[in-house]
Amino acid sequence: MYVKKIYLKNYRNIENLELELKNGVNIFYGKNAQGKTNLLESIYIGATGRSHRTHKDKELINFNKNEAHIRLEVQKDAIFDKIDIHLKTDSKKGIAINNIHIKKLGELFGYLNVVIFSPEDLNLIKQGPQERRKFIDMELCQINSIYYYNLSQYYKVLKQRNSLLKKIATNQSLKDTLFVWDNQLIDFGSKIISIREDFIKKINKISKKIHSDITENKEDLEIKYKPSVLIEEFKEKLEKNIDKDILYKTTSYGPHKDDMLFFINNINARDFGSQGQQRTASLSTKLAEIQLIEEERAVLPVLLLDDVLSELDKDRQKFLIKNIKKLQVIITCTGVEDVLKNLDEECNIFNVSDGKVT
């Protein structure tokens, strides 16, 4: 699949853009703060409905405007889809697919699959668990249509439960109503746990192979799911921790506390891995993400590389480029020569300057 055309209006510092992209490598180069990442971000939003940089949709609209538009035309074999996102300062965003307005964000997933890779992703292993959950969620939303539903319901129930915990602190009689939320939390949470478990098994299998290739069989990578709670213990954990939860006004167990662990040659890479090992393992995991989308959805995702090539050493750069040959790749960089050195195919090259693309 590939993004054939992109239209932006009043999107961040990009006032007006209409651009045709190539099903291959597209490079956007330019000085700092010109709009390169903004452009990648808009494609990511077209795929997921959300920015990878902010939760606040309003930030995406140009400072001096009240609304912004993103339109992407996506070609997938013989299928052509048009994704329209209309952002407004005074109301929720509207999304239309092929001119039909969708009511739920979940309906957007699958029209455009993307994998985004930025320098921060190389720190996947070092970062906090929240970043790793985000990695899991963004991938699963794109490959499993019921995941997003369960996830959004789970977070809704969690919010209600936490708000009830706060009320119980001043009104003990409400404690008896907590079970209503607990049952729903267990219901949605268990589905999330079991989907994540299956996902991490698959990601582990693929990234193990990739990691072994990059390190010339020197390192064995093992990714393990670390659920906050097991499905069969969920109810008991919630019940046992009621008083603690009331005291801290927050829910101490559930998928919102999940994590994943990375082992290199049986040693926990987060605690003991060298920086290079951690970064290579992150690269293997990101590349596994692409392959998993291909296996599960039978499509090749669009790869968004935000200034990441310059972060990798020569061997890693070569490995990455060799492994993304079949995909549409959208690359941002400051120096175009460094990127071109590694590529042996024809690419589209654009300059980005002050929100204008030429």
Q: Taking CB within 5 to 8 Å according to partner kind, which of ligand ATP, Mg ion, none is near residue 13?
A: ligand ATP
Indicate the residue among 281 and 308 with the shorter CB distance to Mg ion: 308
**At what angle are helices 129-143 and 145-170 packed, to 10 degrees?**
140
Q: Which is nearer to Mg ion, 32 or 170 (CB)?
A: 32
Residue 207 found at the interface with Mg ion (CB under 5 A): no
Using the minimum distance from each CB to ligand ATP, give the nearer residue, 67 or 197: 67
Q: Site residues for ligand ATP, window 253-292 (CB under 6 A)?
A: none
Is 35 near ligand ATP (CB under 6 A)?
A: yes
CA–CA distance, 169 with 247 (Å, rounded to integer):
7
**Sheet strand arrangement including 2-11:** 14-20, 2-11, 67-76, 79-88, 94-97, 100-102
CB nearer ligand ATP, residue 70 or residue 192: 70
Q: Which stretch binds ligand ATP (CB under 6 A): 55-63, 98-106, 186-194, 247-255?
A: 55-63
CA–CA distance, 282 with 166 (Å, rounded to integer): 39
What minimum distance in Å lies between the beta carbon of 121 and ligand ATP? 14
Chosen residue from 51, 62, 160, 342 binding ligand ATP by CB under 6 A: 62
Q: Which is nearer to ligand ATP, 171 or 353 (CB)?
A: 353
Q: Taking contact as CB under 6 A, which single stretch among the options 36-44, 114-122, 216-224, 227-235 is the one that binds ligand ATP?
A: 36-44
Instruction: Tell me if 51 contacts ligand ATP by CB under 6 A.
Output: no
CB 266 within 8 A of CB 222: yes
Stretch binding ligand ATP (CB under 6 A), from 16-24, 29-37, 222-230, 287-295: 29-37
With a CB cutoff of 8 Å and minimum separation 6, the contacts of 213 are 319
Tokens of residue 251, six digits = 């829910």
13 or 241: CB nearest ligand ATP: 13
Asked if 32 touches ligand ATP (CB under 6 A), the answer is yes
Beta-carbon contacts of residue 108 (< 8 Å; ≥ 6 apart) = 47, 48, 49, 83, 95, 97, 102
Closest CA to 358 of 30, 7, 4, 41: 30
Output the six-digit token pair for 17.
């853009």
353 binds ligand ATP (CB under 6 A): no
* From 1, 26, 27, 34, residue interacting with ligand ATP (rule: CB under 6 A): 34
Residue 34 contacts which entry, ligand ATP, Mg ion, none (Cβ below 5-8 A, type-dependent): ligand ATP
Residues with Cβ within 8 Å of 30's Cβ and at least 6 positions away in sequence, in order, are 36, 334, 351, 352, 353
Binding residues among 293-312 for ligand ATP as defined by CB under 6 A: 307
Q: Residue 32 CB, nearest distance to ligand ATP (Å)?
A: 3
Q: Which of the listed partners (ligand ATP, Mg ion, none) does 251 bind, with a CB threshold of 5 to 8 Å by partner kind?
A: none
Q: Please state whether 99 falls in left (phi above 0), alpha (psi between -120 and 50) or beta.
A: left
Q: How far is the CB of 40 from Mg ion (least distance, A)?
A: 8
Query: Closest approach of Cβ 33 to Mg ion, in Å?
Result: 8
Dist CA 93 CA 38 (whole Å): 18
> 72: exposed, middle or buried (C-beta count within 10 Å: 0-12, 13-18, 19+)?
buried
DSSP assignment letter at 56: -
Residue 356: left if φ>0, alpha if ψ -120 to 50, beta else—which one?
A: beta
Question: Where do we find the tokens 């040659």?
Answer: 265
User: According to CB under 5 A, which one of 10, 26, 34, 37 is a site residue for Mg ion?
Assistant: 37
- The number of residues that bind ligand ATP (CB under 6 A) is 16
Binding residues vs ligand ATP (CB under 6 A): 12-13, 30, 32-38, 59, 61-63, 307, 334
Binding residues vs Mg ion (CB under 5 A): 36-37
